[in-house]
Structure formats: structure tokens, C-alpha cells
Structure 1
Amino acid sequence: MVITEIKMKKIIYVLVAIFIAACSKSEDSTFLTDISEDVFSFKPIAGGAIMHYNLPADPEIMGICVRYKDAFGSDMLRSASSICDSIILIGFNEAQSNVPAVVTLCRRDGVESNPINITFGTKDSGPVAFMNNVQVKSGWNGFTVTYNNPENSKGMAHVFYLGINPRTNEPDTILISSFNLEEGEDFIVYQPKQESGKYDIVIRAEDFRGHMVKERVWENIDAITTSKLDASEFEFVCDNIVTSEKDKIGLQYLFDGDTKGTTWWDEEEFDRFHFYSFLAGPNAAGENAHPMYVDMKKNRLTAQLRIYCMLGYMSGKGPDFSAPVYSKAETAGIWYGYYENMLPCKVTVYGCKDDGNSDWESKAWEKIGNFEESPKLAQSLRWTRNAAGSMYNYVRLANKVAMEECDPSYLAIDFDAEQGEGYRYLKIVIDDVFDLPWNPSDINQRNGLEYVAMQELEIYTD
């Protein structure tokens, strides 16, 4: 069935190519056709229209051509085979009505029919719709871009801020991001490297053919300063925390300020079965994940949540995640040789304002942010690429000094700054953890019981 469909598509492409070539060479002669514009119907879409047609049952008719001018005045030729029933007319930005076009039929001998005049309408293209609804608002240590793109949106957006060009030391627009336009509602928090209390923002949009469509400017956007919320200011609740005093595993290590794993290097006599880390499970991730909760004691404007991992180290150094047969650790039967397949790759965070309700499950939770990477993502692209416990980790630190000089590795979940009085409660759901780069034959090495490891958890508020 699949092979038949592929062959049919190839046949259609060949037929279209043949009759386009034939029609383009036969401008001096035409044949008469008695079809009228009534056989064509149009559906406006983003940046164009879909033209439906029903051609006469004539074996000599190979296809159809539509000629018109696009938004830039360029001549457009769109062609389709007679065995199709529709053709997409493209090339427009702002919505238009009564766009004139000419339709001709094309015979096998390359002769086109007499022209049939038609008109059609279009909707705003993806770039235009984006530019009409995009908003720039105050953000955490920067600014926030929000948008809601319609169906079939295509194109690209470029976000700039007014800063200082590092090469010329002169004021200039600095590109901070470019992204493809896709259907749906979203927001992006930007934190420019050049810190400022206010920002001037420029956003430009281009269509999929590379034409710059529109530009807008926002001036004097306030940046909201944030800071890390001290662990004494909130309560963390999780009902399946793994605790091992012997292995240095427990809740206290999730908020001890060690975001990299440097505490291990402070031991007078290094014990490789000490981890100084946090572990939860079983069922801390996946479909049956036990949520983790945070009570910040009062409503707070909540900016960001971060989850850190332990950094990698040289062979023979640092905590040892070996399986029980090679390890004296109480938690060896959980690690079973690996660490990275317990690190989150998909996290959803929900928020709730102070409601006077002590029952976590009955609260009116609303989704306020999420993070997602594929569990099978190439290791070099993961946020955990520098994590410990892997033969493929991208940093191998030999001592505490090297670890202190290395940047921490963490996933960050940003929250929209427009949240009223903020949230008191957070609900953190670990939807999935990373797979190992290979599929171990031993089921114990696959983290089948869905344990989750975290080196540190931080919350940032205003």
C-alpha cells in the first residue's frame, strides 16, 4: 500500500512537470473551453487560498495553471495535475479580497485553453498575524514576548534589543533570538546579557520565501529583578523521598546550595559511596509520578524554577554509581550503574494562589510552565550533557577547583510575569526522565521503577 502511494505521487509529479513545460512553450495558440468560473471554489488560508476545481472528464486535459501577482507584484504561476482537485495559491501577507487571477487548462500537446478570469480572497499570513498579535511585556531580568499564532502559520521572527555593539562600542540593535512561527499560543522570557532596567525591543517577521514582512518597536520595557528564594522561605513536600544517612542521600541535600556536586570534595577521606544528593522514587516520574509540592508561605511573584544535576568527574574520582555487585552503597540497587537516566527531561509546573486549603490534590491547579527534551535526544544536546555517572559525559573534572570553575548544568522553567499577586503553591510533575544512549539488556539498568535524581532545586521570585 505504501509503495503504491509513493509510485502514485511520483507519477503526479512527473505529469505536472511535463504539462508545465509544455504549457510554457505554447503561448501562441489556445483552444476553447466552455467551463466557467463557477467550477472553481476558494477557501482563504494564511497567506493565500486553496482553489478547488472539477475539470471536465477529457483525457486530453493534463492539468491546470493559475497566473496572478503576489503581494510584491511578482508574477506567480501555480500548476496542478488533472487528477488532483485543488491547488494552493501562495505569496500574500495582509489579508486581501478580490485578487484577480487567470486560469487555463493545459492539453497533452502543450496548448492552453482560453483564459478564465477568477478572483479569490486570502487571510493574513503567519508573519502578519504574528506581528498583529505579538506583545512585549515586562519580564524577569529582561522582557517577555507573548503571541498566539493562527492555524497554518509559517515564517520566522527575529527579536532584537537596543544595546551596545561589542565590536564598535556603539549603540546598536542586538539579535537575541530567531524562531520559526508555528500554530498556537506561547510566551518566551528573554534575559539579555547586557543588563538594564529598561529595554527597547524590535521584532521583525519574514515569510517563508525570505521577504521581510513587518517590524514593530516597543520602548522602555521594564525589567523585573529577581532573586533566589531562600530554602527557609518555603516548604518542599514529596512522599517518596529516598533517605540514606550512610550514602548521604536525602532531602537536606536538595537545598544545601551545592549545585554541582562540590561537597564530596570536602571530605577528609574520600568515600565514593557518599553522594550528597537527592533521590526520589519509585514512581517519581512517568504516568504514575508522585507530584512534588512547594509551599512558599504566601503569594509570591514566581519567576523561575531550576533543577540541577551533578557534574562529571575523572574516572576513579567522585561518587560511584556502580551496581550492587561492585558497590557498598545502600542505594546501589537503585543506581545500578547509572545516573543520567534518572535526570528529568520533561517537567510540568502548576501554580495555585493562597486558597486556605491544606489538601494538595483538591487545589485549583493551573499549568504555569513546562520543560521538555526528548528522552532519546542526542547526549551532546541534552541539558545533562555534563552530568556525572556516564562514560559519555562531556566534562571530566579532576578536583574541587576544576568543578568550582565549571558552570553548573540545570534545566530552567520560566513563568509569565503577568500572574497577578503571584502563587503560593507549586506542583512539580516529572513527566519523564532521559533514556540511556543505549538499551541495556539488564532491566535494572533501565530505571524501570522511575526514580528521579536532582542535585539542587531553586526557586526565583521578585
Structure 2
Amino acid sequence: MKNRLFFLGIVTGLCLGSCSNDDRASFDAVITTDMFSFKSVEGGAVLQYKLSDPRINKVKAEYQDEFGEPIYKVGDYSVDTLLLDGFNSEHSSVPVKVSFLDRNGNETETTILNFNTLASNLYAFFDKVQVSPYWQGFQVTYELSGLTNGSATIYFVGENPNTHSRDTLTVENFQLGAGKYTKAYTLDASQQQSSYTVVITTEDSKQRIARKEVWTDIVGIEREMLPNQDFELLDPFGKSKEIAMNLNDSWHPGALGKQYLFDGDTKGIRAASHYRLGCATPPFTFLAGPGALHSAMNDVYFVLDVKQPAMIGEMRFYAKYGDTYATNQDFDNDYYSKLPCSINVYAWTASTSYDPDMNQSEIPASNWKLMGSYNQDPNVTLADRWYCGEGKKELDKVKTLAELNALPALYASIPFEFDEQKYRYYKIEFETTYIDPYSPTYYHNNNNQVTCHEIEVYAKKEQ
């Protein structure tokens, strides 16, 4: 009896299914070619449609992409376009089946149309990309417009650190976007070579390679630190605190000035000889303010004179290590909230020398060329701040010179755009300083001061 009931259920189900299919009427909306038009775009085409029949709820398109995979696209009645993508190289007369659906999902008969595509940016990327020398490495410059999607991957041929054999090594994978971009790569010392072989691929959203190209014999530019003892920081707005050392004042020991930026002390070694219990340590450092931070309402800056024109590739800004002694009240309540997290550096491009005594507001903006920037969120976690050192969760505070000598120097590095021109003057805009993560109202920078301990400059190595 149970088996008879089971088979009866199957027969009943088939009957119901058959009846349902018989009752489902096909959708008889008329399709004509004049309802549609195509606009070729990067990597595909835009199907434009006009719907006059109120019964039409959706437009359905079926075609094959460049890799032969079936693609199904559905457009709603509330819009009038449908993107048909999935192509890399330029194509013509791509067939597409088009039909209409009503609100119940009933479908009209299909009609076959044809469309043309433009080369996608994954393909056209290589028509404009440039691979050129960079500081101890190479740089990739590209410019894209129109529809952009997918990614690019940069490789170079070097030594595999695991097998120690020649291999193609990944440098970076990044999403493509419209606009002009430069990706610069200074390679680790262990991977630096006399010349580089660079490989670039572009990939679609499924990580399928659209195109691949190889560049050979890209010669990197070697750089070295310029001696900085003769450098000068020009202060056209008079913001630098110039205070001689005064050991008779336990809270304001002085030892502040621009000259300390170029004394070769990157960690605070000189200050360590003056550690005194209960007294603030003379810092032998640079401190500027109040009002030393640049903004749209406060166009203030400093100008570094390196004395001789040079092709500069990097500028470093150092911090001194804190100590466990009394607070130097020239820094209000805190040193670290005066360290910059946003810095812009520009080169003076005019044929005449820069003059700090001239009216700065009359200098054309075109006289300055942006060379590099450093930007970090002022509220970033302590471990990620440049003055904390790699992997540190808390600041190192020292008591002795021996402790200080054992620590590495801490600095923010600003790599420069590669420019074969040599420049002598560099405008430095300090825009933002770090915010204390624990007590920002007490350890504040309400006076918009800024400090750094040493400035180093790295330029093209002269042969």
C-alpha cells in the first residue's frame, strides 16, 4: 500500500508540473532592432534600449566573452542601459541574443544583434605604460581613461630568497583606476642589480591574464647620503625657536635651533650626556611654533638649502629618543605630539635663487614642484608610527647612553619622484602632527608646534 501511494505521488507531481508548463504562456511582446543601439566602450559595449510596452519588466542578453564563457546579463525596466563586458582586445560583430521578460518571468522569443568593443584598459594599459630607471630600482608610469577594472601585477627577475636561484618575483599587485599613476620601487639591497628585467601582467576580475609584456636592461640609479654639515634651513616666517642651552632652568633647558638638524646626531646622543634626575634634558634639536603647521589658512613653510644643486631621491626626518627624566616644557607637556605625520617637499624650479626675505605670497606656485610626501593618520596606532620603530608597541625611553647606543635610529622616509633635474632649494611643509592615543587633551599640540631631530638627504651617486 505504501508503494502504491508513493508512485501515485510521483504521477501526481508530474501531472502538476506538466499542467504548470502548459499554463505558462510565452510572452508575446514584439522585439524590433530599432529598440536597441550599442555604444562601444573599453572592454565591451553598452546596450541601450527603449521600452514602450508596459508589460516588459526586464531585458535579457546572452553572449560569450573573450574566453568563450557564456555571459548572462539582465537589465531592469527602470534603467535604459546594460553593460556587456568581458573583452580585452578589440572585437567586432560580437553576437548577442536579446529577449524581454515580463513580471512573471515569461520570456519572449530572442533576436540576435551584433556589437563592437574597444580594447579594454587591461589591454590598452600596455600602449601607454612606461618602465624607467628609479632610485636603486625601477618605476612604472601609466595613464588610463574611460572604464577601468581588473588589476596589474609587477614582477622582476631576481634571486628567490628561498631557493637562491633566478626567479620571477612579485613586487606588487594593484587595482587599476582612471588617471595617471607612478609606481616606484626601490629594491632591497639583496636584490639590487646593475640592470633589471621587469615583467607586467594585467588580470581581469577572475585573475585571468589579459596581456603580458617584458622590459629588459632597466638600469637603476644609485644614491648616497649628501654630507649635511653645510646645509641650512631657511625660515622665511620666523617660526623656529632659537634658544641657547641653559642648565640653570630645570624645565626650559634651551638647546633649540635649526643648526641641530645638521649635526649628525640622529638619536639624541648629544643630549644623553646631560641626563639629570629631576631636570629636563637639553634636547639639541629643532622646534618650531607656535603656528608652524601649514594649512590653507596658514601658508607657512621652511626651505632647505643644500648649497649645491643635486638630483635628490630621498629625504629623511629623524626623531630623538625620549628619556625618563623631567618633561621639557618648551614642548608643552609632550615631545611626541609635535612629531609630523604629514609632510610635503617641493623643489624650487625657478632659474633665480630662492630669497627668504622676499614677499613669499608673491612667489608663483609654478616655482615649486612637488617631489614627495609623507602622510599617515595622526590617530594611527602607536606601533605603526614611524617614531616607534618596527614592531614596537610602546616607546623606548632610555636612562643611559649605553641604552641609547643600542637602539636603531627612527625616521620618516620621503622617496622623491625621479627627476633628472638638479635642484638646490626644497620647500618643506609640515601639515599635521601625531595625536596622543591615550591622553590627547593633556599631551596636546594646541599651539601647532613641530619638531624633528635631524634631516638627511640622499642624492644620485656621482661616478
- TM bucket, shorter chain: 0.7 to 0.9
Q: CA deviation at 1:401?
A: 4.6
Q: Which digits, 9 at most, give the CA deviation of each residue in 1:244-270, with x for residues without a partner?
A: 333322212212222233433344756
1:345 aligns with 2:341: yes
> CA 1:110–1:279 in 2, change beyond 3 Å: closer, same or farther?
same
Match of 2:290, SS? coil
> What is aligned with 2:75?
80
**C-alpha separation between the residues in 1 aligned to 2:375 and 2:150?**
23
Of 215, 227, 231, the match for 2:212: 215
Q: In 2, Cα distance between the equivalents of 1:418 and 1:400?
A: 41
How far is the alpha carbon of 1:396 from its aligned partner?
Answer: 5.4
Change (3 A) 1:124 1:278: farther
Residues 88-124 of structure 1 deviation map (CA, whole Å, 9 limit, x = unaligned) = 3221222434332122111223221121333334343
Quickly say closer, same or farther: Cα 1:139–1:380, change in 2 above 3 A: same
1:376 and 2:372 aligned: no
Q: Please state how far the C-alpha of 1:240 moved relative to its aligned partner.
A: 0.8
Q: Which amino acid aligns with 1:454?
A: C
Please tell me whether the aligned partners of residues 346 and 370 of structure 1 are also in contact (alpha carbons under 8 angstroms).
Answer: yes
Work out whether 1:89 is the aligned partner of 2:84. yes
Matches of 2:265 and 2:243, distance apart in 1: 18
CA gap 1:286/1:357 in 2 versus in 1, 3 angstroms: closer
Residue correspondence of structure 1 range 62-73 to structure 2 within 5 A: 62-73=57-68
Separation (CA, whole Å) in 1 of partners of 2:44 and 2:399: 60
1:278 is aligned to 286
Unpaired segments ≥5 residues, structure 1:
1-24, 323-328
Which of 353-362 and 248-257 deviates more? Answer: 353-362
The answer as to whether partners of 2:101 and 2:108 remain within 8 angstroms in 1 is yes
**2: CA distance between counterparts of 1:44 and 1:407?**
57
Describe the superposition over 1:364-403 as per-residue Cα deviations: whole angstroms up to 9, x where unpaired.
Answer: 212222222233334433334449xxx9635556654554
Equivalent position SS for 2:272: helix
Q: 1:240 and 1:305 mapped to 2: Cα distance? A: 21
Q: TM-score, normalised by structure 2?
A: 0.80
Output the CA distance in 1 between the equivalents of 2:61 and 2:399.
68
1:265 aligns with 2:246: no
Which position in structure 2 is the counterpart of 1:13?
none
Residue of structure 1 in register with 2:9 after alignment: none
User: Number of aligned pairs?
Assistant: 416
1:286 is matched by which residue type in structure 2? Answer: H
SS state at 1:303 partner: strand
Partners of 1:78 and 1:406 lie apart in 2 by 61
Structure 1 counterpart of 2:458: 460
The DSSP-based 3-state class of the residue aligned with 1:231 is coil
- CA distance in structure 2 between the partners assigned to 1:411 and 1:188 by the alignment: 19
Distance 2:410 2:125 in 1: 33
Gap change, CA 1:256 and 1:97, over 3 Å in 2: farther
Partner of 1:115: 110
1:234 and 2:231 matched = yes
Task: Judge conservation of contact 1:301–1:461 (CA < 8 Å) in 2.
Answer: yes
* Distance in structure 2 (CA, Å) of the matches to 1:308 and 1:38: 69
In the TM superposition, residue 76 of structure 1 has moved relative to its aligned partner by: 0.5
User: Which deviates further from its counterpart, 242-251 or 29-38?
Assistant: 29-38
The residue aligned with 1:36 is: 32
Range with greater deviation from structure 2 (351-360 or 70-79) = 351-360
Instruction: Give 1:53's match in structure 2, choosing from 38, 49, 53.
Output: 49
Amino acid at match of 1:53: Y
Contact 2:59 2:74 in 1 (8 A): yes
Name 1:293's counterpart in structure 2. Answer: 303
User: Helix, strand or coil: the match of 1:446?
Assistant: coil
**Kindly tell me: are residues 130 and 340 of structure 1, through their superposed partners in 2, closer, same or farther at Cα, counting changes over 3 Å?**
farther
The 1-side partners of 2:423 and 2:439 are apart by 41
1:356–1:53 Cα change, 3 Å: same
In structure 1, what residue type is equivalent to 2:159?
A: I
CA distance in 1: counterparts of 2:436 and 2:48, whole angstroms: 49
Match of 1:310 among 320, 329, 332: 320
CA distance in 1, matches of 2:264, 2:197: 35
Q: Which residue is 2:260 aligned to?
A: 253
Gap change, CA 1:263 and 1:393, over 3 Å in 2: farther
Aligned partner letter, 1:309: A
User: CA, structure 1 residues 41+371, in 2 after alignment: closer, same or farther (shift >3 Å)?
Assistant: farther
1:432 partnered with 2:439: no
Residue 325 of structure 1 is matched in structure 2 by none
When normalised by structure 1's length, the TM-score is 0.80
1:128–1:282 CA distance, 2 compared to 1 (3 A): farther
Post-superposition shift, 1:75?
Answer: 0.5
Distance 2:417 2:409 in 1: 24
When structure 1 is superposed on structure 2, of 79-88 and 69-78 the one drifting more is 79-88
The 1:121/1:374 distance shift into structure 2, 3 A limit, reads: farther
366-375 vs 270-279, which moves further: 270-279
Letter of the 1:450 partner, please give it.
Answer: N
Q: Secondary structure at the match of 1:55?
A: coil
Residue pair 2:197, 2:215 contacting (<8 A) in 1 also = yes
User: Measured at CA, do residues 200 and 455 of structure 1 come closer, stay the same or move farther in structure 2, by a change above 3 Å?
Assistant: same
* 1:386 and 1:395 in contact (8 A); partners too: no
Please state whether the residue corresponding to 2:57 is helix, strand or coil.
Answer: strand
Pairwise CA distance, 1:319: 5.9
- Distance in 2 between the 1:227 and 1:210 partners? 40
The amino acid across from 2:270 in the alignment is T
CA distance in 2, matches of 1:263, 1:148: 49
Do the aligned residues in 1 keep the contact of 2:348 with 2:354 (CA within 8 Å)? Answer: no
Residues 49 and 80 in structure 2, CA contact (< 8 A), matched pair in contact too: yes
Q: Which amino acid aligns with 2:209?
A: M
**SS, match of residue 373 in structure 2:** strand
